[in-house]
């Protein structure tokens, strides 16, 4: 049964990218366990505004687990203690009366802090721009059914395509590595005939961009897979390694 609970939240506050940050602890009374985690933060911000203080900045958009905008490292887990969901899908029933909840931004050299809990994830955008697409070649529109795709390949490609690019993999990784993200983005296309012609170039340039932007070397710890809200498997990382090595050996 959902109750109303009294909690404390310990939130990272940082005025700007270069400022020094600190934790602030706030008390919240009568939070319904039926409310979502972000609604709880909305209530906190209303309280702060009413007190004449500056509200906490945090990222969010769709609030239904598809856009990848929400982040937050909650009590030692990216996207909080509940499995296979994003922060916006997290509910207060994961917490109890009297809990102190620690809320931090993603921490990684590749994701610098902009303000409070908001980090700059344009690095992912840049990696995508380096090759995470299929070039559009104009001409007649081909019939989708004209290209046969084995069912298992289609399934694996769909699983990889579930990645919403939220960055939880990087946030969870002791090495600050973006390999799960890049692996998903390379795999979703490498598995399909449409992605094949550019597969080698894609793997090489996306990995090069990832390295250039300062993400770490993957040591196959697997924390990324555990915390991924979309259950992207690290088997994709093996596939990325394969694609990359194949491309390099062919050169």
Partner 1 sequence: MSWLIKSSIGRKVIQSISGLFLILFLLFHMSMNVVLIFSHETYDFLANEILGANWWAIVGTLIIGLGVGVHIIYAIILTLQNWKARGRDRYASKSKTPVAWSSKNMFVLGVFIALFLIVHMYQMWYQMQFKDLFGMEGVRHDGAQLVVDVLSQTWVLIAYVVAFIALWFHLNHGFWSALHSVGWNNDIWMKRLKRLGYFVSTLIVLGFIVVAIAVHFGYSNLLA
Judged by the rule CB under 8 A, the positions of this chain that interact with partner 1 are 12, 21, 23, 73, 75-78, 81, 102, 104, 107-111, 113, 172, 174-177, 179, 207-208, 210-211, 214-223, 226-227, 233-235, 237-246, 248
The pattern of x and - marking residues 68 through 87 that bind ligand FES according to CB under 6 A reads: xxx---------------xx
Length of the chain: 251
Residue with Cβ nearer partner 1 (65 or 78): 78
219, 231, 238, 245: which one contacts ligand HEM (CB under 6 A)?
219
- 34 or 83: whose CB is closer to partner 1? 83
> Toward ligand HEM, which CB reaches closer, 122 or 220?
220
Q: Which is nearer to partner 1, 1 or 20 (CB)?
A: 20
Contacts 24+ apart (CB under 8 A), 79-83: 79/166, 79/168, 79/227, 79/229, 80/37
Q: Which token pair is 118?
A: 């908001």
CA 249 → CA 187, 204, 218, 235, 244, distances in Å?
Answer: 19, 11, 20, 21, 9
Q: Determine phi and psi for 28, rounding to 5 degrees.
A: -130, 130
Helices 199-212 & 179-190 angle (0-180, nearest 10) = 170
Minimum distance of ligand FES from residue 157's CB (angstroms): 21
């Amino acid at each position: 049964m959902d109750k109303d609970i009294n909690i404390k939240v310990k939130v990272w506050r940082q005025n700007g990218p270069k400022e020094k940050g600190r934790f602030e602890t706030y008390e919240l009374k009568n939070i319904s366990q039926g409310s979502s985690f972000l609604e709880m933060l909305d209530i906190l911000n209303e309280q702060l505004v009413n007190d004449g203080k500056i509200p906490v900045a945090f990222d969010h958009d769709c609030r239904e687990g598809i856009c990848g905008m929400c982040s937050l490292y909650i009590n030692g887990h990216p996207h909080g203690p509940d499995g296979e969901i994003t922060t916006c899908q997290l509910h207060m029933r994961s917490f109890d009366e009297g809990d102190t909840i620690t809320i931090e931004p993603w921490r990684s050299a590749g994701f610098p802090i902009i303000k409070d809990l908001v980090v700059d994830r344009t690095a992912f955008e840049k990696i995508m721009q380096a090759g995470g697409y299929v070039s559009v070649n104009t001409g007649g529109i081909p019939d989708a059914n004209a290209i046969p795709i084995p069912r298992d390949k289609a399934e694996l490609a769909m699983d990889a395509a579930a990645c919403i690019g939220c960055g939880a993999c990087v946030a969870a990784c002791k090495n600050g590595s973006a390999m799960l993200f890049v692996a998903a983005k390379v795999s979703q296309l490498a598995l399909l005939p449409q992605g094949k012609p550019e597969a080698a170039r894609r793997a090489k340039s996306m990995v090069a961009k990832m390295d250039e932007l300062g993400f770490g070397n993957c040591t196959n710890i697997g924390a990324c897979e555990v915390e991924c809200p979309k259950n992207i498997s690290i088997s994709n990382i093996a596939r990325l390694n394969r694609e990359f090595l194949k491309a390099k050996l062919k050169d």
